[in-house]
Chain A
Amino acid sequence: MTIEYKKRLAIVGESATIDDADLFWDWLMKNPKGRIDLSACTYLHTVILQLIMASTVKIKAWPADTELHSIMETAINNQGV
């Protein structure tokens, strides 16, 4: 399991693959006000990114990986631009 689900917090491990998508999607729908901790993440499958972009959850911690951090930040903040 590469994503750990707590009550209102999803902690994404080093990599989040397409196999995690279904569970993650479920969690996102059940926790519209949930938060995501991405700090350990270095690899994120497009599906997961797309789900995060479609969701309303908050990012509790951005990836420590600066490259992924900047990509995700632009992706989430520039949404719709």
Chain B
Amino acid sequence: MLSVRNLSVSLGPETAPVDIVSDVSFGIRKREILGLVGESGCGKSITSLAVMGLLPQPGPRIRTGRITLAGADVTQLQPWQRVEAGHGHIAMIFQEPMTSLNPVRRVGDQIAEAVRVHDGIRGAAALARARELLDMVRIPDAALQLSAYPHQLSGGQRQRIIIAIALACRPQVLIADEPTTALDVTIQIQILGLLRELCNRLEMSILFITHDMGVIAQLADRVAVMYAGRIVETAAVDDLFGYPGHHYTRGLMDCMPARNLGVRRLPTIPGQAPQPGTIAAGCAFAPRCEAVREVCRVAPPPRLRVSEEHEALCAFPLNGGRPA
């Protein structure tokens, strides 16, 4: 459905660009949830904005790469150009639902506005469609909630409203950037369940961005792990947690408190992630890697295959690997 090939996004002058996203490739199939996981600053949000055609101007720009949506090349197109060209839709939802909503307009009007833009219907018909969308995101008393203002709703309900607005354009791909990070766990689990249900029912694809390995394990079908602007591992979710290939993935899982209850000391990954532009030759993870060898510091790591549809960007992956 969505395919990204060799995407690099860079900052700085044309003559000396600094890559903040390097050579990122992934694809999402219909009705699939791809989890993109990584720590802050790893480039996961920039990747999603590039896919969306929403990179801030002036600012980072796509240096190389190709983004195709339902077979059409949309790399250089702005969102509205994509719509006009009939290339299908990508919708996006963000972390903080309050800042995505207009605080002084009723939520019903805000959903109806999205409906008007995409379906060209207005008035009562648009409101009826808005009610339908609210039912879809499981908001009870839809009629009542349409006349509410954002501040009258709870965080979970606001995120449902945002999802309803995103669904107004009947997207084939939904990009969700940390949509549950600001929510309490009891509400988070509901939103995750809702996204899974919508993915199946509407035959959408979802690119789910998060820093939380627990959320990934609960929701994703496949996972891409990002580190310092690169995807360092891709695998089906069971394979990734069952036998991770990259040492960074392994480290991320090991240091989660939930996996170490009762252990005196948590395993850690020493040091911290490098800043863009300071990454030396060789593997960006080498300075923090416990299995580092001399070659890792000088040569860029190869992408090796750990198993079927499971690749790691590492010269010496865990659980073996052969040339992809």
Q: Is the pairing of A and B real?
A: no
Listed in ascending order, the chain A residues whose CB lies under 8 Å from chain B are none
